[in-house]
Structure 1
Amino acid sequence: MTENEAGPTEWVAREEVGVGPWEGEWPADERYDPELLANGDRRNVVDPYRYWRREAIVSDVDGRRHPFHVAIENFQHDHNIGTVVRTANAFAAAAVHIVGRRRWNRRGAMVTDRYQHLLHHEDVNGLLTFAATEGLAVVAVDNTPGSQPVETAELPRECVLLFGQEGPGLSAEAQKTASLVVSIAQFGTTRSINAGVAAGIVMHAWVRQHADLAQAW
C-alpha cells in the first residue's frame, strides 16, 4: 500500500528521523560527540543541536532558560508528569519539581528529561521553602472558587507554576499557601482539564507575557 492509498487510521512507514553519519571532515568543536558524528544522530532534539554532546546541549539551554519553574504534585503516581516535563523542556523552564513520590512514569517525557533540570521535594513545604529561598512566587493552578482566569491574570515573571494531580487537583495546603491561584476558562461539560494539557496552557500563557520570541527556534 502506498502513502496515498493509506486509510485515515493506518500508519505508513516513514523515513528514519534525525540525521545519518556526518559527511566530510569532522568539526573540531568540542561540543560535538564523536560517536554521534560516526553513527548519526536520531535523538529528539532540534536541528541546531544535532551531533552535540548532551552536556553541551544542557549548558547551551542553561544560558537562555526562562525564570519560571514548574511543579506537580505526585502523591498518587500521576501519569501526566512525563507530558509536563516534555512541555517544560519545549518552553525552556528553569526546572521541573516533583512533589511527593519520587518515582514517575518517564515514557511521556520522550527522553526530554535528559535535558531538563529535575528536582524532588517530599512535600509541599519543601517546595515552598525552595521558592522562598529563590525569591519565586508560587502560582497554583486549579479551577476553584476565587481563582483568577489565567487568560487575564498577570503572571509573575519569576515564579513556580504549581499543578495538582489528575482527579483530586491541588492539595488544600498548596492552594492555601500560594500567592496566586489561576484557572483555565472552560466552556464544555467536563469538570477539569487533563493535568498535562493544563500545564501546557499555563506555561504558554507565561511565554506570551514574558518570553523574548526572537529567541525561539
Structure 2
Amino acid sequence: MEEKPTRRPAAGQTRRRGAALEEAILQAAVDELSESGYAGLTMDKVAARAATNKNAIYRRWPNRLALGIAAYRQLTTTVPLPDTGSLRGDVLELLRQANRLWSSPIGAILRELFAAAGGTSELVAQLQDQSGDAAAAPWLTILGRAVARGEADPETLHPRVATVAIVLLRNEFVVRGVPTAPDDVLVEIVDEVYLPLVRRRGPTPR
C-alpha cells in the first residue's frame, strides 16, 4: 500500500518537532473538541488543523479516545481557587465552579468521553484525575487553610477525604445523568456530608 506523503510546513513555516509539535497537536485537538464535541473529533481533522500528519499524532496518543481525554484535560485545567475565609464558603464555591463547567457544553463532552471509555478503568481514572495529584491539589489547599484556622481536623488532610465533595457532585452528572445539579444539592453535599466528615473534633473522652 502506498504511503501517504507527509504534510509539509507552509512556506516560511518552521518544521516543528518535539514539545512544539505536541503542543500544536494538542491545541488543535482542543479546538476540534470545543467546536464539534467528541463525536466530531477525528485524527484527520486534528492533523489538518495542526498542519501535520496522523503518524505524528499516533506516536503520542494511541487512539482517538486517548487524544480526546488529553484535550479535555487541557480544556479544563485552569480553575481559580476561591478564598472566602471559611471552609464552607470555599467548598461551595469550588462545587459551584464545577457545576457550571459540567453544565456547559464541556460537560456534554465529558459525558461523551465517559461513554466512549466504556468503564475502562485506566481511561476513566484519567478523566476523573484520580491517577494524579492535580484534582486533589485545590481541595487539599482549601482544607489545609481550614486546618490552620481550626475548622478542620488535621487527620482529614488526605486526597480521598479532601475530594469527597467533588466526587459526590460528579456522580450526579455521570451516574444519575443530570444536566445540572440544583444549588440545594450542592449545599446538602457540603452541610450533610463534607463538613461533618472533616470538621475538627474535640479530644476523645477517656
- TM-score normalised according to structure 1 size: 0.27
The structure number with the bigger radius of gyration is: 2
- Greater share of residues in strand: 1
